[in-house]
Each structure stands twice: as structure tokens, then as C-alpha cells.
């Protein structure tokens, strides 16, 4: 074992056992006696099998078939990663401001800045089209588990099983599309393939903007307040679905509630949670703890610092830059919060106890033991193999998210040069491709900073004697190394890049340019490691499906499947919680927004538009703005409607608190909260602050006048 590896192993052992000792002394618990809790696997119920008896026992409420259909068909999947809902019969859609902030520019006219100033269409003619935006309404659900698993059983290898599965999925989608040409079909894997459902969606792709508040009102407190509570954000947006240039007529929509919520009131979140890994084995969880999340947290911290510095340099006046900072800050808090949870001995002990009980249940039944009993061992072997090259793969990867464009240009130029060398393209084609290499939106300041991020990834994930580390960094700091590399490279300007490319493929492939050196000494190795990885990925896909099958056979619908970016129904109650030595109230008011504004001396990111110092007399600052509930949500639930037993809108889910961040692996009930915009607060702001009477009337009556 290398000295570095031995040191890392010793350090990890010390941290691990120190955490156990800390938990035993500070929390007063012994991790060996910790038990899994009833809802550790969450409460994201599918519409295929809603737990009606549980709802009746827990809330005295058993939703009818008609009410469940209303829940399902009033809810929407929004864009590529959020949720939404219809809130009027004329196709009015409600979602979060942060679900549209990245695309508002598409709706702007010249000299407008919707992020800064907000938007309201006072007439239907003023509603603005947002191109390439769609919403999906789930209409049909069919169980197709038997068809797919039967097809897979005919395969002899993991690769064959996956190919047969994919073929059957394509057949099912084609068959149902012929029967229902108006719908788009998807096959959804539940319980990692333990069950399969066919979903038929009605897709609306003419979506127009109706109303959004200003960014600083929607996201007061910016990143510091993100994933916190008490909270004071008007994080809402309203749009409309059109067909044939007219607003659609929605047969299903949620009516608005004007009564508010009270503590212990049952509420339901209906949305599309993106992904959870609660079914994962301990071997998979430990891989995430030791390998995956440390990488992500380190990279996101560096990215956040870069964009925070740029925002400060522009005095928080570049709203697109601020939106980017908020997105990166959101990712950082998610990954860092999840990583901390993975290091928490108490939560890990709960996961271990669940796995122990699950294994016992499988091994106590001979037919289950024979088929599923060795899954855990096989996954452990596979994850241990994955550790071998994980750091190298990360270091050698050129990412569109965090890698500098210098490397992307170098990678593409080497590819074109090889194609020219092998006569796969002509010189004319080569020249035309090269002419487009240098980005039109190149920001040298940003790319120079991203280069330091990439060099830190190399330094932190490769041994000191690795050829890339030795050649590109040596004994320098990454800041000095970046400066030296840039002074040697041809990729710093379009002119220098074209000069190098014009010299021909031999000059490119033999160039001493440091970025070409990176490409030539990493990408072939990366491709080989990724190819070696494929068989392991295929094997784990089958093992995960078997794990899901076993889970369903043991627990049935008592445990919901992991989130899959598809529609779920999550129950909960409005509830405060203890935090920071005090008590979080169930709701906050607009008074709290003003307090944040003045307490932080009106400085970014606690600044509000200047009119907040002279508010309309009819605007009631005591109106509830945000509230919290115990519903189980994760990323993807943003924009989900929060409804009462009567299917009325009482809120709009937009975040979780800090205590909710372990949710990817475990759902806890003690202090995990969903943070919602109050229906009362939205109405008060729309009607009395923004004077958007047309919108407030439509929300109140459920239709346009």
C-alpha cells in the first residue's frame, strides 16, 4: 500500500471512530442499538398504489378515486426539472420563480430585464411566449412489469438483459402511441426495476409568461438563506398553456384557498421529485461517502467562490451572474449537507439496521434467499472495484460545467487533427470546423479561474508522480501553474488558435501546448477506463433491479420506491420545529422580509426594490408569506402544489430546510421540513402589492373574465 493511501486509511478510521464516540457521548446513543424508523425510506407515494388505509388511519381522510384523479391530472411536470400545476380552467400554471429564472431572458424585449424588474401581463395579448418550454400532464398509468421482466429473463448476460429490456420498452411505447397518438409515452422504472409503469403524458409546448416578481423579492436572502427557515421568499411564477394560439381549457385544476393553514393540518405535496438513493446498500452509501461526495463538495466550493467574487466585482448588478451564483450555491448546499449526513453515525446506523432487517427477511425465505441472497456481497465487490479508478476518471474528465473552455477547445482540435490525419475529413472540412472552435461568448477572466479549479482537481485526485501533475503543476501552487500554462498556450486567443490549426495536423498533434498535452495524455486512458467500467455498470444495473424486486417482495407498497422524476403524492402536516435553541414558527410574514432588509442594511443579497420603503397602504404586512410542513420532498419538487384535503391550493413548495438535506439517502421526521410560499401571501402580493388584478381575479374564481 502506498504511503498516501495508508495515511488516508488511517485518517478515515480516526474520523469514523471519533464520530461514533462523539455520537455515543454527545447524543447519548450507542450506534449498535440504533433502530431504523418507520418512514426512513420516505413518503413519496406513487399514484399506482397510494396508501389509502394509512391516510385514513393517520388523518381520518381516505381520498376517493375521483379526488386522486384530480390530484394527478391537475399536477404537472414543468420543463426539465421542476413541478407545477394548473390553477384555473383557462390553463393558468403555477410554479416557482427559480424554475423559470434561467429562461426569463427568452421572454424579454429589448432593454427589458425581467429578473431585475419582474413582469405582469395586464392583458392576455401581453402574455409572453417562452420558447422551448413544455409542461407534461400525466394521463395514463399502466403496470408493465410482467412484460418487461419476462423479456429480460430471456437474456443470458447482463448486456443481453438490458438490450431486451430496452427493446420491449420501445415496443410498449410504440404500441400505446398508436392507440393514443395524442399522448407521449414513457416507461418508468420503480424500485430500480422491481416494477415498471407505462406513463402517458399530454404535452403542452406553447407556454406563455403571465407573472413573476423581481428576483430579489422571490429570493430574498439569496444563498445565505437558501435551505434555511424561517424564510421570506415570494418564490412563485404564473404562466399559461396554449394550443392553437388560444389558452387551453383544463378539465382538472386546483382551486385557490383563502383560509390559510394551521398547525397540525394535513397537507399534500403533489410533484415530481427528481432522485433519491434510499434503496442503496451500505456498500453503495459508503462509496458515495468516501468517493463521490467529497469530490462534488470540493469542486462546488471552488465554483461558488469564483462566482461570488464575480458578483461582488460587478456590485451585484449583473442579474444573470447572480442567478448562476444562486444555482451553484444551491448545489453546494445540497452536496455538502448530504455529505455531512453520510458522516453522521446516527443516520448511518439507521441505514445499517434497515439493511440488516431486510437481509434477514430475504434469507428467512428459501426462495428469496436463493435468488437475492448474494446481492449485497456482489454490490460490495463491484463498488470496491469502482474505487480503483474513480479519482483518475474524475481528474481526466473534461466537463462542460467546471472545466475551462481551453480544454474543450484543445480536445476538439485534437479530434479534428486526428480525423484529418486518418483522412476521415478533408482539409476544407477541417478548416470549417476549426473556424468555429473559439467560443463567441469567451470570458477570459472566468476561464482563467476555472483553470485553477481543474488544476486543483488534478492535484487532489492524482498522485504527485502522475504525468499530468508533474507536467502541468510540478511543485508550484495551482495559481502559479495556471498563470504559466496560459503564458505557454495558443488557446488564449482566436488568432493564436487558428495559427496553430493552420499549421496542419502534425503540428497540432506534436504541439507542446499544455492543453493539448493534457488531452493527449488523458483522453485515451479515460476512454479505456470508461469502457472497462461499462460491464460493471451493466452488472450493477441488474443487481439494483434485483434489489428492488426483493424490496417489493418483502415490503410491498408499505415502502414507496425511490424518486424517479415522476409524479408522487407526499403526505404531511403543518408543523414547527425546534432549532438553534428556539422554536421555528409554522409561518412567517411580510414583516419578516422587511426585517431582513433593514437588519442587513439593505445590502445584497438582502436588498429589496426601493418601493418596499413606501408600500401601498392596503398591503397587509402581517399576511403569512412562507410556512413549513413535514412533507417528503427533494429536488424536482420545486413548484409542487401544496393542497389541503379538498384539493385546494394552500401553498407552493419551493425549498427544504437544512435538516432536510439528508433526504437523498434517508427521510427523517424530527426536523425535516418542506418550505412553502403561502397561498395567502401570494394572493396578498399579487392583488395589493403588484396590483395584478387580472391574475388575482383568475386565481379567486378559477377562470379568466
Locus of grid cell 495559481:
479
Compute the radius of gyration of the chain from its Cα atoms: 27
Q: Cite the DSSP H helix spans in 314-344.
A: 319-342
pLDDT higher than threshold 80 for residue 59: yes
Helices (runs of H) and strands (runs of E) counted in the chain = 26, 22
> What average pLDDT score do residues 109-132 get?
97
Please, which residues have CB within 8 angstroms of residue 488's CB and are 6 or more apart in sequence? 512, 513, 514
The model's confidence at residue 303, banded by pLDDT at 50, 70 and 90, is very high
pLDDT (tens digit per residue) in 602-643: 999 999 999 999 999 999 999 999 999 999 999 999 999 999
Cell numbers for 539: 452488472
pLDDT (tens digit per residue) in 352-370: 999 999 999 999 999 999 9
Please, which residues have CB within 8 angstroms of residue 551's CB and are 6 or more apart in sequence? 191, 194, 279, 358, 559
> What average pLDDT score do residues 528-544 get?
92
> What average pLDDT score do residues 247-274 get?
98
Percent of the residues in the chain that have a pLDDT greater than 70, as a whole number: 96
Please, which residues have CB within 8 angstroms of residue 520's CB and are 6 or more apart in sequence? 414, 509
pLDDT (tens digit per residue) in 124-134: 999 999 999 99
Least Cα distance to 374 among 362, 364, 390, 386 occurs for 362
CA–CA distance, 623 with 611 (Å, rounded to integer)? 18
pLDDT higher than threshold 80 for residue 30: no
What's the pLDDT score for residue 351? 97
Instruction: For the chain, give the mean pLDDT.
Output: 94
Residue predicted with more confidence, 34 or 31:
34
> What average pLDDT score do residues 669-695 get?
97
CA–CA distance, 310 with 318 (Å, rounded to integer)? 9
Q: Considering Cα of 430, then 433, then 435, then 438, what sign does the dihedral take? A: negative
The model's confidence at residue 697, banded by pLDDT at 50, 70 and 90, is very high
Q: How many CB atoms lie within 10 A of CB 617?
A: 6
> What average pLDDT score do residues 416-431 get?
97
Residue predicted with more confidence, 32 or 230:
230
Is residue 489 within 8 Å of residue 451, measured between CB atoms?
no
CA–CA distance, 187 with 146 (Å, rounded to integer)? 13
**DSSP one-letter code for 334:** H
Q: Which CA distances in Å does 308 have to 104, 254, 305?
A: 22, 39, 5
Domain ranges for the chain: 52-134+205-277+562-657+664-701, 404-521
Lowest mean pLDDT segment, chosen from 393-397, 535-539, 650-654, 687-691: 535-539
Q: How many CB atoms lie within 10 A of CB 459?
A: 18
What's the pLDDT score for residue 18? 40
Q: Is 212 helix (H, G, I), strand (E, B) or coil?
A: strand
Q: Domain 52-134+205-277+562-657+664-701 adopts which CATH fold?
A: Thrombin, subunit H (2.40.10)
pLDDT higher than threshold 70 for residue 13: no
> What average pLDDT score do residues 208-220 get?
98
Q: How many CB atoms lie within 10 A of CB 138?
A: 20
The model's confidence at residue 21, banded by pLDDT at 50, 70 and 90, is very low
Residue predicted with more confidence, 134 or 14:
134
What's the pLDDT score for residue 669? 86
Least Cα distance to 404 among 459, 372, 445, 463 occurs for 445
What's the pLDDT score for residue 32? 77
Q: Is 270 helix (H, G, I), strand (E, B) or coil?
A: strand
Q: Which CA distances in Å does 129 have to 105, 107, 240, 242?
A: 11, 6, 9, 10
182 torsion bin: left (phi>0), alpha (psi -120 to 50), beta (else): alpha
pLDDT (tens digit per residue) in 451-492: 999 999 999 999 999 999 999 999 999 999 999 999 999 999
The whole-angstrom distance between residue 378's C-alpha and the CA centroid of its chain comes to 29
In DSSP notation, 48-89 reads SS--HHHHHHHHS----HHHHHHHHHHEEEETTTEEEEE-ST
Cell numbers for 556: 410491498
Amino acid at each position: 500500500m502506498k504511503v498516501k493511501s495508508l495515511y488516508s486509511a488511517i485518517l478515515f478510521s480516526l474520523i469514523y471512530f471519533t464520530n461514533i464516540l462523539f455520537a455515543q457521548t454527545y447524543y447519548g446513543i450507542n450506534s449498535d442499538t440504533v433502530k431504523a424508523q418507520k418512514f426512513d425510506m420516505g413518503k413519496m407515494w406513487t399514484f399506482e398504489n397510494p396508501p389509502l388505509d394509512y391516510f385514513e388511519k393517520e388523518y381520518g381522510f381516505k381520498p376517493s378515486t375521483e379526488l386522486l384523479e384530480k390530484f394527478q391530472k391537475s399536477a404537472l411536470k414543468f420543463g426539465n426539472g421542476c413541478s407545477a400545476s394548473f390553477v384555473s380552467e383557462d390553463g393558468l400554471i403555477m410554479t416557482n420563480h427559480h424554475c423559470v429564472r434561467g429562461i426569463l431572458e427568452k421572454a424579454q424585449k429589448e432593454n427589458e430585464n425581467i429578473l431585475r424588474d419582474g413582469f405582469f401581463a395586464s392583458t392576455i395579448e401581453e402574455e409572453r411566449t417562452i420558447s422551448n418550454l413544455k409542461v407534461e400532464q400525466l394521463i395514463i398509468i399502466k403496470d408493465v412489469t410482467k412484460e418487461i421482466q419476462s423479456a429480460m429473463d430471456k437474456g443470458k448476460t447482463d448486456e443481453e438483459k438490458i438490450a431486451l429490456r430496452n427493446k420491449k420498452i420501445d415496443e410498449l411505447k410504440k404500441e400505446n402511441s398508436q392507440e393514443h397518438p395524442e399522448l407521449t409515452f414513457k416507461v418508468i422504472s420503480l424500485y430500480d426495476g422491481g416494477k415498471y409503469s407505462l406513463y402517458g403524458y399530454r404535452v403542452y409546448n406553447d407556454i406563455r409568461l403571465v407573472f413573476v416578481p423581481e428576483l430579489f423579492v422571490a429570493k430574498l436572502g439569496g444563498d445565505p438563506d437558501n435551505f434555511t427557515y424561517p424564510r421570506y421568499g415570494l418564490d412563485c411564477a404564473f404562466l399559461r398553456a396554449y394550443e392553437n394560439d388560444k389558452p387551453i381549457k383544463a378539465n382538472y385544476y386546483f382551486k385557490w384557498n383563502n383560509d390559510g393553514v394551521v398547525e397540525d393540518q394535513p397537507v399534500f405535496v403533489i410533484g415530481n421529485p427528481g432522485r433519491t438513493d434510499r434503496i442503496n446498500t451500505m456498500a453503495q452509501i459508503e462509496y458515495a461517502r468516501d468517493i463521490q461526495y467529497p469530490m462534488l463538495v470540493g469542486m462546488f466550493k471552488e465554483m461558488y467562490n469564483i462566482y461570488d467574487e464575480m458578483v461582488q466585482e460587478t456590485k451585484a448588478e449583473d442579474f444573470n451572474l447572480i442567478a448562476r451564483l444562486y444555482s451553484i450555491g444551491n448545489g453546494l448546499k445540497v452536496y455538502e449537507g448530504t455529505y455531512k449526513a453520510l458522516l453522521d453515525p446516527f443516520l448511518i446506523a439507521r441505514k445499517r439496521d434497515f439493511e440488516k432487517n431486510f437481509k434477514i427477511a430475504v434469507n428467512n425465505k428459501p426462495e428469496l434467499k436463493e435468488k437475492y441472497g448474494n446481492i449485497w456481497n456482489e454490490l460490495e465487490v463491484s463498488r470496491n472495484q469502482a474505487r480503483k479508478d474513480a479519482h483518475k476518471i474524475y481528474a481526466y474528465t473534461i466537463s462542460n460545467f467546471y472545466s475551462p473552455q481551453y480544454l474543450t477547445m484543445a480536445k476538439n482540435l485534437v479530434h479534428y487533427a486526428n480525423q484529418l490525419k486518418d483522412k476521415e475529413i478533408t482539409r476544407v472540412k477541417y478548416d470549417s470546423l476549426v473556424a468555429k472552435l473559439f467560443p463567441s461568448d469567451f470570458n477570459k477572466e472566468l476561464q482563467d479561474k476555472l483553470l485553477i479549479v481543474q488544476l486543483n482537481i488534478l492535484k487532489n485526485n492524482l498522485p504527485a508522480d502522475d504525468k499530468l501533475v508533474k507536467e502541468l503543476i510540478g511543485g508550484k501552487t495551482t495559481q502559479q501553474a495556471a498563470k504559466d500554462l496560459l503564458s505557454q498556450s495558443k488557446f488564449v486567443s482566436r488568432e493564436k488558435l487558428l495559427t496553430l490549426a493552420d499549421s496542419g495536423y502534425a503540428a497540432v498533434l506534436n504541439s507542446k501546448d499544455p492543453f493539448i498535452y493534457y488531452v493527449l495524455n488523458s483522453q485515451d486512458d479515460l476512454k479505456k477506463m470508461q469502457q472497462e467500467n461499462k460491464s460493471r455498470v451493466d452488472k450493477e444495473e441488474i443487481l439494483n433491479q434485483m434489489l428492488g424486486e426483493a424490496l417489493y417482495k418483502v415490503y410491498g407498497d408499505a415502502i414507496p420506491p425511490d424518486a424517479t422524476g415522476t409524479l408522487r403524492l407526499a403526505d404531511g402536516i403543518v408543523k414547527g420545529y425546534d432549532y438553534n435553541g428556539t422554536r421555528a414558527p409554522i409561518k412567517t410574514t411580510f414583516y419578516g422580509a422587511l426585517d431582513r432588509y433593514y437588519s442587513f442594511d439593505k445590502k445584497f443579497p438582502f436588498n429589496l426594490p426601493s418601493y418596499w420603503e413606501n408600500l401601498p397602504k392596503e398591503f397587509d404586512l402581517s399576511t403569512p408569506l412562507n410556512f413549513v410542513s413535514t412533507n417528503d420532498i427533494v429536488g424536482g419538487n420545486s413548484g409542487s402544489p401544496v393542497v389541503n384535503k379538498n384539493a385546494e391550493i394552500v401553498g407552493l413548495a419551493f425549498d427544504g430546510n437544512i435538516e432536510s438535506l439528508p433526504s437523498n439517502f434517508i427521510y427523517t421526521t424530527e426536523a425535516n421540513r418542506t418550505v412553502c410560499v403561502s397561498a395567502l401571501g401570494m394572493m396578498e402580493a399579487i392583488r395589493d402589492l403588484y396590483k395584478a388584478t387580472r391574475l388575482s381575479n383568475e386565481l379567486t374564481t378559477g377562470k379568466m373574465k
